[in-house]
């Protein structure tokens, strides 16, 4: 999905909601517990329940890799089930020397058919550039994350400003707003105004809404640009809205509430 298609989808649905499919086999609702196909059935039910209110899905690959080869198969089947009408993110946080990054990019873009992948910029330009070489595919680079450990490196003073600001400024020159996004955590909302000044045109993938306590209103008011420029992710709040027979209906209600609020900010 290219940039213009993503923007149009956001406008058509009046939503910039991304649903995180961080499916934990231990947290499946009661009706699916013990079912060998439970994870895939759960994913399909969540996708069906949220298709109309979200524009993107984010698959955290760790939850699937931990299941071995079966997990990879479920991940591939989930991507196929979602289809081409939604922007699909592999939350894999890859990044290595050029040849290795190229293989990662080929795996997720050509084989699994994701639209984008999260990338760590720690090893520099040659570790990110291979992800930017695929037409209509995106690298979503870690900028300022929502975890407590962000203070260990991202917030360190570096020549008078936090390290993450140098990362945003430098990485933004490696690609364009058509193939490059940044991860900025919702719990870092006080920094969004300044971050938007550094990267005025790029999309931000914003985790941390819902269970992690981020404010959708604050993020929207401080970080939205003329093209919206946001994909706001919610995972646990939607996935585990209910553990009973009504899990899909509960997920639909929560996703619908997010979409309705988002519509008021557009």
Under 8 Å CB-to-CB from 222, ≥6 apart: which residues?
189, 192, 193, 196
Q: How far apart are CA 3 and CA 9, in angstroms?
A: 10
Q: What is the pLDDT of residue 211?
A: 61
Q: How far apart are CA 190 and CA 222, in angstroms?
A: 8
Active site residues per annotation: 93
* Banded model confidence at residue 212, pLDDT cuts 50, 70, 90: low
Q: CB–CB of 22/212 below 8 Å?
A: no
Write out the H or E segment, with its range, that includes residue 9: helix 3-13
| Residue-averaged pLDDT of the chain | 95
Residue 240, domain extent: 3-265
**Total-model pTM:** 0.96
What's the domain count of the chain? 1
Write out the H or E segment, with its range, that includes residue 59: strand 56-60
CATH at residue 45:
3.20.20.70
* Banded model confidence at residue 210, pLDDT cuts 50, 70, 90: low
Q: CB–CB of 89/140 below 8 Å?
A: yes
Tell me: the pLDDT tens digits for 53-89? 999 999 999 999 999 999 999 999 999 999 999 999 9
Residue 159 has pLDDT above 80, yes or no: yes
On the CB side of 138, CA atoms within 13 Å amount to 29
Tell me: the pLDDT tens digits for 99-158? 999 999 999 999 999 999 999 999 999 999 999 999 999 999 999 998 889 889 999 999
């Amino acid at each position: 999905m290219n940039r213009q298609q993503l923007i149009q989808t956001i406008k058509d649905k009046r939503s910039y909601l991304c649903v995180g499919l961080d499916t934990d086999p231990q947290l499946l609702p009661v009706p699916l517990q013990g079912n060998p196909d439970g994870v895939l059935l759960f994913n399909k039910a969540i996708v069906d329940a949220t298709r109309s209110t979200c524009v993107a899905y984010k698959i955290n690959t760790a939850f699937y890799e931990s299941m071995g080869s079966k997990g990879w198969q479920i991940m591939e089947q989930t991507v196929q089930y979602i289809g081409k009408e939604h922007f699909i993110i592999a939350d894999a946080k890859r990044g290595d020397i050029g040849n290795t990054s190229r293989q990662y990019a080929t795996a997720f873009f050509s084989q699994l058919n994701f639209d984008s992948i999260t990338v760590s910029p720690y090893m520099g330009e040659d570790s990110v550039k291979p992800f930017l070489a695929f037409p209509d595919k995106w690298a979503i680079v870690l900028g300022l994350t929502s975890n407590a450990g962000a203070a260990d490196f991202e917030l360190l003073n570096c020549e008078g400003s936090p390290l993450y600001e140098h990362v945003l400024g430098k990485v933004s020159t490696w690609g364009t707003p058509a193939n490059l996004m940044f991860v900025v955590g919702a719990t870092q909302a006080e920094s969004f105004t300044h971050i938007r000044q550094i990267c005025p045109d790029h999309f931000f993938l914003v985790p941390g809404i819902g269970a992690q306590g981020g404010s959708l209103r604050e993020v929207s008011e401080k970080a939205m640009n003329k093209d919206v420029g946001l994909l706001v992710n919610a995972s646990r709040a939607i996935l585990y809205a209910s553990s009973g027979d009504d899990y899909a209906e509960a997920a639909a209600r929560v996703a619908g509430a997010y979409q309705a609020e988002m519509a008021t900010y557009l």
